[in-house]
């Protein structure tokens, strides 16, 4: 039985019923052991949650004014489409990689979040837009003379994770993980089943069943 009719329903279902630990468990069980981004990539607010498609962005350090300020940043932003998640890495994190106007641009283009392996700035102005941003933290230093975008919709690596254009990105207060697009539907179907099973196990434990007995009966803990 199909659990969603289109992409929008799929991502809504992920945000409503799933959480990163259960999806990570399924990925482990399928042999994908390195799908979580580094743990210092955090949401600006603990209630932020995102689910969508990776639009990977590669950045590098620069030193001083450039012939093309920011590199291909504006081009990368302008080609975002519905359900994209801007996912950037590169350089030595000497400045902010995200801010108020980037948030407004991406949000207006119906992208559904940003994940940067670096700093953000304009924190109050980003938060007031009520749109999920994950980063290493806040730092106001400007990027124009310190970094630029050199490519987008390209393969990138963050920590132990390789990310391809169109892979699924799922993030909440417990972290951000990447679901390879080729196995995404299978992962989500198994994760939804496991999440429902965990509710049954919790109810049994709260009803007095021991953890050992619950694991023996349900195979979930």
Return binding residues.
99-102, 121-122
Angle between helix axes 184-206 and 211-218 (nearest 10 degrees) is: 140
Return binding residues for Mg(2+).
122
Tell how many helices (H) and how many strands (E) occur in the chain.
7, 13
Report the alpha-carbon angle 28-32-33, nearest 5.
Answer: 65
d(CA 169, CA 177): 6
Beta pairing, strands 147-152 & 161-163 = unpaired
d(CA 186, CA 12): 17
- Please state, as a whole number, how many other Cβ atoms lie within 10 Å of the Cβ of residue 18: 21
Reduced to 3 states, what is the DSSP secondary structure of residue 159?
A: coil
d(CA 111, CA 172): 17
- Asked if residues 119 and 101 have their Cβ atoms less than 8 Å apart, the reply is no
Return binding residues for substrate.
99-102, 121
């Amino acid at each position: 039985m199909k659990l969603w009719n289109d992409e929008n329903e799929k991502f809504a279902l992920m945000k409503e019923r799933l959480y990163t630990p259960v999806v990570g468990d399924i990925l482990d069980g399928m042999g994908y052991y390195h799908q979580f981004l580094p743990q210092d990539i955090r949401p600006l607010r603990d209630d932020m949650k995102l689910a969508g498609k990776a639009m990977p962005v590669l950045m590098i350090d620069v030193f001083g004014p450039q012939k093309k300020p920011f590199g291909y940043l504006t081009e990368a932003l302008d080609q975002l489409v519905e359900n994209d998640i801007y996912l950037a890495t590169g350089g030595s994190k000497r400045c902010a990689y995200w801010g108020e106007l980037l948030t407004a641009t991406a949000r207006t283009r119906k992208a559904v979040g940003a994940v940067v392996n670096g700093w953000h700035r304009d924190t109050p102005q980003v938060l007031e837009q009520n749109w999920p941003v994950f980063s290493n933290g806040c730092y106001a230093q400007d990027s124009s003379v310190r970094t630029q975008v050199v490519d987008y919709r390209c393969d990138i690596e963050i920590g132990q994770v390789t990310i391809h254009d169109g892979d699924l990105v799922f993030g909440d207060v417990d972290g951000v993980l990447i679901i390879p697009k080729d196995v995404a539907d299978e992962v989500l179907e198994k994760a939804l089943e496991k999440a429902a099973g965990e509710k049954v196990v919790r109810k049994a434990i709260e009803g007095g069943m021991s953890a050992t007995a619950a694991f023996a009966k349900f195979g979930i803990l």
